[in-house]
Structure 1
Amino acid sequence: MKILVTGFEPFGGETENASGITVDMLRDLTPPDGARIVTAILPVTWSGAGAALLRAVEEHRPDAVVAVGEAGGRTAVTPERWAKNLGHGRIPDNDGAIRDAAPLTEGPERRESRVDPATLARAIQDSGVPAEVSDDAGAFLCNAVFWTALHRTDLPAAFIHVPAVRSRGSARIGDETDPDHAPTDSALSSDDLAVALMAAVNTVAQETRPSRHDR
């Protein structure tokens, strides 16, 4: 059993991205049930993020995907229920591109996570980290990567937003996911986020193992 876990590089003038830092912390770790974790850090660009995810899937041939991004307006870890067929860049990506609101591809208006977000949230809560299900992944590149995972692969795929934790100071971004919420400081640390993601990865492995053949 191999689980691909992805995060993002910093963007919006920030020097850190909580998703990328936490995913790097999982590298070379082994979940309790013995599944193998492989990782990738995706670019924050409309032209590159989805393509980088698909390259990682092609390279690693995982049994499932857990994509992770940060949401500066949230204080808990939030597994997402839906990916929307909508891309909207209210802020520039790392290439300087701003995207007007438009569908990402031909297809339905939204696709549902192939891993139950409520199950993930309970597992994260049981690990001691606050978590709740989110029904809105926004329309920025987190949502676009989630859509790509569901639209372009048949793998069990989940997306998890983590608070925009910083090693020093506070995040200055956040409304790209939740436009009605200013960046919010979370009481969680990077270590807390790593515990939460490990609980989620272990749950994905348990939930998907019976339905996937060995590669």
Structure 2
Amino acid sequence: MILLTGFEPFGGDSSNSSWGAVLEAQEILRGEGHTVEVLELPCVFGESAAVLREAMGKLQPELTICVGLAGGRDRLSLERVAINCDDARIPDNAGNRPIDEPVVPEGPAAYFSTLPVKSALRALQIAGIRAEVSQTAGTYVCNHVFYALMHELGGADTPRARGGFIHVPHDETRLPQGSTVPGMATRDMGRGIAVVVRTALGTTVDAKLSAGAVH
């Protein structure tokens, strides 16, 4: 069982490309015979994590990948680390704006993704899909969900349970004409997520290749 999640629109936008990308990935992966469930999370601190935990408890997925929008990025970002910090620059969809608050009180400072991010990066590059390993998932609801996911998996009874987070660009078809904001076709985002899923299912030891950042 594979669980993929995206987000509802936020920040005044009418859509969220993460949800469209997840639906595309579901279609691709189901066509290959995989059992895939998708879930649209609310862009709300606390509630988003609770909805995710409930779904994980019900479905018991062996692989969970959460997906969110990173406006301004031009490629898929395979997030390496989630930090135990909510620090909202803008309010969430319920008007909450936590500042310097932990995602999980008394939780560890950070969790690393258990996805094979380096192997996935290489597979995405071979597939011709723009991608990177990202060192920060921000401090908004995306990071909140990423941390909650990894915290939940940290207490999982089964060592097969793996998870992580991917940021995607804007859907290029929904950007205003003449916009300089980077985007990507939803189909390509879905293809990319499917590549990451296949890589995670087939990789036990991550590749050793450089994908770090100087700053």
User: Same-fold call, TM > 0.5?
Assistant: yes
SS of aligned partner of 2:51: helix
In the alignment, structure 2 segments of 5+ residues that lack a partner are 205-215
Aligned residues with identical type, % of pairs: 34
One-letter identity of the residue aligned with 2:41: L
Q: After TM superposition, where is structure 1 displaced by more than 6 Å over at least 4 residues in a row?
A: none
CA distance in 1, matches of 2:83, 2:95: 23
1:168 maps onto 2:170 in alignment: no
Task: Quote the offset at 1:100 in angstroms.
Answer: 1.1
The corresponding residue for 2:117 is 117
Q: What is the TM-score when the length of structure 1 is the normalising length?
A: 0.84
One-letter identity of the residue aligned with 2:66: A
In the alignment, structure 1 segments of 5+ residues that lack a partner are 171-182, 209-215
Matched pairs, number: 195
Match of 1:196 among 160, 177, 192: 192
Taking a change above 3 Å as real, the CA distance of residues 67 and 169 of structure 1, as seen in their structure-2 partners, is: same
Contact 2:23 2:190 in 1 (8 A): no
SS of aligned partner of 2:20: helix
1:59-208 equivalences in 2 (<5 Å):
59-105=58-104, 106-153=106-153, 154=156, 155-170=161-176, 185-207=181-203
Task: Quote the offset at 1:184 in angstroms.
Answer: 6.1
Task: Quote the offset at 1:30 in angstroms.
Answer: 2.8
Task: Quote the offset at 1:46 in angstroms.
Answer: 0.7
Q: What is the TM-score when the length of structure 2 is the normalising length?
A: 0.84
Task: Quote the offset at 1:164 in angstroms.
Answer: 1.9
CA distance in 2, matches of 1:29, 1:163: 19
Q: Deviations over 1:61-90 (max 9, x none)?
A: 111111111101211111011000111111
Contact 2:170 2:183 in 1 (8 A): no
Q: Give the aligned CA root-mean-square deviation in angstroms.
A: 1.9
Task: Quote the offset at 1:12 in angstroms.
Answer: 0.5
Task: Quote the offset at 1:120 in angstroms.
Answer: 1.6
One-letter identity of the residue aligned with 1:102: E
